[in-house]
Chain A
């Protein structure tokens, strides 16, 4: 019973991070029409920014997360303007533009390795060592804080997309670019905004990740595959699909590694992805969303 609940908590932790990162992929895919294969690199950057702020400068956890959101978000705008926008202006296909982003991922990873070395880094438990005991089950504070932050950021993002004017602009651009520009939406700025939000979110995900597991400069490429599996299973355009799938697979992964063995985690993701592609290629909740 204790193992079950603990793995459930672990699943909620990783699930929250998966969802935050996957939502970013969906936003870039629908608003900018590019598969952001460099997304993992932004997760890594966020993780390292948070790590340095907390470990070297002793800055508060929440402040560090917000700072990494802003820093990485601003950096991602530079990437958008230098790489994604020229690809769009030249009318390159979504695949070619995505390959350019693989190049970006390589550049970011390598520069980070040159700057910070190859050693894995981990923030040493920010919230005391004392676990909380609920009905005789021990849970560390971290296992409660991370899902909480995750859920709060997901709710904030959904509110942003559906309730604010800028969110409406994002949805309009995703739906129909020309019509959006006809009603006075600045397409370029909206796309930059979309990219920045999605990468900033990835950075917060990285900031949470670095509290749980040691991260290294090449973690992005290893992580991105799981995220894409979630995006495919949830349906490439569906926000609720990604949220549901992210938590489902996060919990499923924790169960697999708890009861079968950690070596089978990736296989679990891949099997789930192939199964969905055979049975229901449009994904669990695949329908045109962001509309």
Chain B
């Protein structure tokens, strides 16, 4: 298994987060990522599926065996987060939180000044 120790690409993290909420189909994930990031992660088809295929290969994401009750029958495959994926996402979250805490000093520092 590939070494997925954080940091990971923000797009990948967004995908994991989007899937953590619920199982989604491909386009659904892309839409959700755009929404979550306020458009700052402009995930397009090619890049998205590259991330997705890697995460499938690494066992973070799997095709959903059952489809949600409200699933559109015309949609393609639904994807779901695996337990491993959930752990990796959690680890990444922890890392990001730690970083934010560690960098709290930035918000208190006077502008242009020196500590």
A and B together in one complex:
no
Interface positions of A (Cβ within 8 A of B): none
